[in-house]
Amino acid sequence: MNFDWYPLINSLRIAAISCVLVFFTGIFFAYYAARLPRTVKGVLDVILTLPMVLPPTVCGYFLLLVFGVKRPLGIFLMQFGVKFVMTWYGGVLAAAVVAFPLMYRTARGAFESFDKTLAYSGQTLGLSNTYIFWRIRMPACRQGIMAGTVLAFARALGEYGATSMLIGYTPGKTATISTTVYQLWRTDDEKGAMFWVLINLAISTVVLLSVNMLEARQKKAVRA
């Protein structure tokens, strides 16, 4: 049997890579946005959250406006052999843009509820700000950050609108699970569509179950 597993591999790598990107950029912006003056913060917040409320196809449209092969930035990047249109790593870009607000907003909420006196007492004890960030702030905000990461991963895995705008559907090249489901259903391959739906369900279930298990183990550790 020569079944084409490409959509699975492609979806997983797009979701994983974009999730890692979004993890760091989301935390970075969440951390620094909290320290900006109120007006700047308000404007930045709107811009950073927009992809969450815009239809994904609109996000895809904007991405094409910026990275399209006939646009200045697209042409510029082409000189280095980088092309986000119709490539699998364009899918990473699309998924990251759409998933970013989920990470950013949950991380920001976690940082905002962080007890500042913990950071202050660390500083007066002579601990470096880097140490305080990674060893005190991050562990204290772990739940929020984990929740954000899972949401971002799930969103990236299920991304359809922006992905189909930017990278389309080419079997063996840019196909992802969600674009494959649509393509198979459109071409009356009910069985094939159902197969990929089940695969998607399985991945989502595994992700959610492992998150719940992690949380339960953490609570146990705290209680012990």
Partner 1 sequence: MSLHVDVRKRLDSFTLDVSFTAGKGITSLLGASGCGKSMTLKFIAGIEKPDEGRIELDGRVLFDSAAGINLPPQKRRVGYLFQNYALFPNMTVRQNILCGLNREKDRAVKETRLREMLRMMQLEGLEERKPAQLSGGQQQRTALARILVNDPQILLLDEPFSALDAHLRDSLKVEMRDLLERFGREVLMVTHDRNEAYNMSREIAVMDKGRLLTSKPTKELFADPGSIPAAVLTGCKNITAARRVDAHTVEVPEWGVRLETKQRVEERLCAVGIRAHYFNPAAQQNRFPVRFVEEMEEPFETIIQFRYAAQRGDSPAIWWRLAKDKKPPQFPGELGIAAANILLLYE
Q: Can you give the binding site for partner 1, defined by CB under 8 A?
A: 115, 117-118, 120-128, 131, 135-136, 139-140, 222
Q: Toward partner 1, which CB reaches closer, 129 or 187?
A: 129
Q: Rounded to whole angstroms, how far apart are CA atoms 41 and 23? A: 20
Nearest distance from C-beta of residue 42 to partner 1, angstroms? 20
Q: Cβ of residue 176: shortest distance to partner 1, in angstroms?
A: 38
| Closer residue to partner 1 (CB): 52 or 119 | 119
- Distances in Å between the Cα of 147 and the Cα atoms of 19, 45, 89, 96, 153 are 12, 20, 25, 16, 10
> Which of 123, 212 has the CB closer to partner 1?
123
Q: Crossing angle of helices 6-33/88-112, nearest 10°?
A: 40
Task: Report the alpha-carbon distance of residue 179 to residue 175 in Å, rounded.
Answer: 6
Instruction: Find the shortest distance in angstroms from Cβ 115 to partner 1.
Output: 7
User: In this structure, what are the phi and psi dihedrals at residue 45, rounded to the nearest 5 degrees?
Assistant: -60, -40
- Nearest distance in Å: CB 103, partner 1: 21
Closer residue to partner 1, CB minimum distance, 39 or 124: 124
CB of 125 to partner 1, least distance (A): 5
Under 8 Å between Cβ of 56 and 98: yes
Count the neighbouring beta carbons within 10 Å of the beta carbon of residue 32: 11
Closer to partner 1 by CB, 137 or 155: give it.
137
Q: Which residue has the tokens 């699975």?
A: 8
